[in-house]
Amino acid sequence: MVSGYDRKEEVVFELGHIRNNNISLTKQANAYNVPRLDIIANNKLYNMELFIKKLWGKKYSKDNYIGGTEDTLLLIDYFGKQTESKLSLHKILFDIHLDILLEKGFVGNGDVYFTETEPHNTYFDTAINVVIDLSAILLENLKNSLVDMNLLDGDRKYSNKFTISTSQEDVRLLIKALDKFIVAPQDYELTEPLSEKSFQKLIADCKEISNSLNEYINLAITSTCAT
C-alpha cells in the first residue's frame, strides 16, 4: 500500500455510481442480485435492510461470531463517531493501524487501535476480529451502496450513514488476510469461545465474504474495461 495512492485507480463501490453508461440501473440491480429499489436515486435509499444480517451479530443468530465480539463494539464506536458521509478504506486502515499489518502479510496478534482523543488510544483485542468485521462491513457497503449504522448497530446507539470508497489494492489486502485465516484458523487467537457448529459457520461466512469481495473486484475491472 502506497501513501498518497493514485486517485484515478480508486474504485468507488457504490451501485448508483458505477460508470457504465451502457448498463441501466435495473440491469445493474439484477447483476448484483438486489431489488431495483435498493439502487441509490437522488441520494435516498428505499426498502433497505441489512444485507449481511445472516452473518452479523448474535441478534440474528446465536451461532454468529462476526459482528458479535467486544471488538465489534469498538469498531461500531469508530464508525459511529465518523462525521463524514464518504469514507475511504485506505484511511480506515490507517486510522486503526491495520494497514501495516496487512502489508506484512500476517495480522497475527499485532496491535490494532484508533485514537479518539489525544493521547488516549482504544485498542482492539485481536486483529483478525477487526479484519473479519471490517470485511463484512465493506461487503454491506458493496451490496447496499452504503452502510446504515441504525442497521449495523444492534443497540441503536448510532444513526449515521456513510459510503466506503476503496482501491482494488486495499480490498485485496483484506481478502488475503481473510483467506489466510480460512486456511489456518488455528494460527489465530479468537476472543470468544466457539462450539464446533459456530466455528464451522465462521469459516463458511469468511469464505462467503472473501468470494463476494473477489467478485466485486472482477466486476469493477470488467466495468472499467467497458468504459
pLDDT of residue 44: 43
Three-state SS for 170? Answer: helix
User: Is pLDDT of 122 > 50?
Assistant: yes
Which has more confidence, 123 or 218? Answer: 123
CA–CA gap between residue 50 and residue 32 (Å, rounded):
15
Q: Per residue in 73-116, pLDDT tens?
A: 999 999 999 999 999 999 999 999 999 999 999 898 789 999 98
Whether a cis peptide bond, with omega within 30° of 0, leads into 185 is no
**96, three cell numbers:** 486503526
Three-state SS for 3? Answer: coil
CA–CA gap between residue 115 and residue 145 (Å, rounded):
27
- Residue 28's contacts (CB-CB under 8 Å, 6 or more residues apart) are 15, 18, 20, 39
Highest mean pLDDT among 13-22, 187-196, 206-215: 206-215
Question: What size, in residues, is the chain?
Answer: 227
Percent of the chain scoring above 90 in pLDDT: 60
User: Is pLDDT of 121 > 70?
Assistant: yes
Minimum mean pLDDT among 38-47, 157-166, 172-181: which range? 38-47
Q: Which pairs with CB-CB distance under 8 Å and at least 24 residues apart come from 213-220? A: 213/135, 213/138, 213/139, 213/142, 213/171, 213/174, 213/175, 213/178, 214/175, 216/13, 216/142, 216/171, 217/11, 217/168, 217/171, 217/172, 217/175, 219/31, 220/11, 220/13, 220/168
pTM of the predicted structure, to 2 decimals: 0.79
